[in-house]
Amino acid sequence: MTVLTDPPKESFRLSMLINDKRYRSLTFQAIALILLIMAISYLASNLMANLAAAGLNISYDFLGDPAGYDINQTLISYNSQSPHLQAAWVGIINTLLVAVLGCVTATILGVFAGVLRLSNNWLVRKLMSGYVEIFRNIPVLIWILIFYGVITVSLPGARIYLGEDPERALTLGMFAFTNRGIYVPAPLWGPGSMIVVGTFIASIVAVFAYRSYAKKLLFDTGRLLPTGWPSLLILVVPTILAFFVMGQPIGLDMPDPLANRFNLRGGIQIGAPLIALWLALSVYTGAFIAENVRAGILAVSKGQTEAAAALGLRPGRIMNLVVLPQALRVIIPPLISQYLNITKNSSLAIAVGYADITATLGGITLNQTGRAIECVLLLMLFYLIISLSISAVMNVYNNAMQLKER
């Protein structure tokens, strides 16, 4: 028989920081942290000392000075007398615009390509493999330049549409496709147009309400209401009624071929740089998303598909109702990275002259003011905030999609 005795109470000694397993890792982490902070503060103080020696200082006063340059595609009011800060805002909004457009189209493209890559049809499968392999293995900058080059070379100049007797008339009297961009009619908001818009928004809400009611009715009573044509009716009819009741308040501002000798005036111009950048980012990232989608689908056990088939579901419904919802759990985390990639890759916009934040704040403003450190710090801050926001939103979505464990 052994006699158990209490282990002697050891008092804490300094050497235990190294020798005792319980404290060792903490010690090293603390040392690493201190070294890191020292290194960063050394670099920062070195920077400040050198800047001071060169007679320079970190100052953001230049943001209030007039920018002095013009930007072609702006969603908010801007002219060359606006301050640099306004130019930065134009850039931020342009970055967000192309990032959002890119994320939406890349997702649609990626999901289709990913699903079709698993198709039983040999031709479709191989075509999609070709798309994925070609687009994700060539750098996105090259794609941006290719798309821009194709638009520039294949579409005609604007002059072909101009004058009393143009070589080419506007398509449908309202669209023009030139190598400077695509011209579409712009809506003119007359008095009372807000009521029409309000009606339309209310209709969308009503459609969702109707569909959830139909679903509830189906689950509760087993009665199947039609959803297709009633949804369409709810969406369209009240809006059209409101439009005519209010006396057609929304008009169209058509591109005008006669107003100027160089360009079409009026309407909305979707610039060629934006189109090139948007398409390139979409197809490039779409190829990656396709692979994520394929991985997600393959991760769903085959038994699920077979079980669904045994219940008599058609293949399309198996994909929509059984496989994709489960695959989403695998797809979403890498999808977040792809969205971040689109946002960050949009900084290549400068290659085709699209005025994103890198082109305005990090390009022309930086160059004109010479405030390189300030501008680059601001750029880093902007991309960091945007990326973290996308991450946060997507993580919320990811958590909502997680397997609910009760």
Partner 1 sequence: MKKSVFLGALTVAGLAAGAAAAGTLDDVKARGTLNCGVTTGLVGFAAPDANGVWQGFDVGVCRAVAAAVLGDANAVEFVPTTGKTRFTALASGEIDMLARNTTWTFSRDVDLKFEFIGTNYYDGQGFMVPKALGVSSAKELDGATVCIQTGTTTELNLADFFRKNNISYEPVPIETSAEGQQQYLAGACDTYTTDASGLASLRAAFEKPGDHVILPEIISKEPLGPLVRHGDNEWGDTVRWTLNALIAAEEMGITSANVTEMSAKAGDSPEVNRLLGTEGNLGEMLGLDADWATKAIMAGGNYGEIFEKNIGENTPIGLARGLNAQWTDGGLLYSPPFR
Residues at the contact surface with partner 1, assessed by CB under 8 A? 42, 45-46, 49-50, 53-56, 68-72, 80-81, 149, 152-153, 156-159, 179-180, 259-263, 265, 272-273, 350-351, 353, 355, 359, 363-364, 366-370, 372
Q: What's the rounded Cα separation, in Å, for the pair 255 and 171?
A: 11
Residue number, 48 or 321, with CB nearest to partner 1: 48
Please say which residue, 21 or 261, places its beta carbon nearer to partner 1: 261
**Which of 68, 94, 59, 75 minimizes the C-alpha distance to 343?**
94
- In the chain, the amino acid numbered 160 is I
Rounded to the nearest whole angstrom, what is the least distance from the CB of residue 93 to partner 1 in the complex?
A: 17
Smallest distance, partner 1 to C-beta of residue 174, A = 20
Provide, rounded to whole angstroms, the least separation between the CB of residue 84 and partner 1.
Answer: 12
Minimum Å distance from CB 387 to partner 1? Answer: 23
Contact between residue 84 and residue 67 where contact means Cβ atoms under 8 Å apart: yes
Between residues 2 and 154, which has the closer beta carbon with respect to partner 1?
A: 154
Q: How far is the CB of 369 from partner 1 (least distance, A)?
A: 8
Which of 369, 387 has the CB closer to partner 1? 369
Rounded least distance, CB 138 to partner 1, Å: 19
Phi, psi of 310 (to 5 degrees): -65, -30
Tokens of 152: 């520039």
Which is nearer to partner 1, 319 or 355 (by Cβ)?
A: 355
By the 8 A CB rule, do 289 and 183 touch?
Answer: no
**Residue with Cβ nearer partner 1 (206 or 350):** 350
One-letter identity of residue 402: Q
Residue with Cβ nearer partner 1 (80 or 395): 80
Q: Are 302 and 323 in contact (CB under 8 A)?
A: no
By C-alpha distance, which of 314, 292, 318, 294 is closest to 304? 318
- Distance in Å, CB of 14 to partner 1, minimum: 16
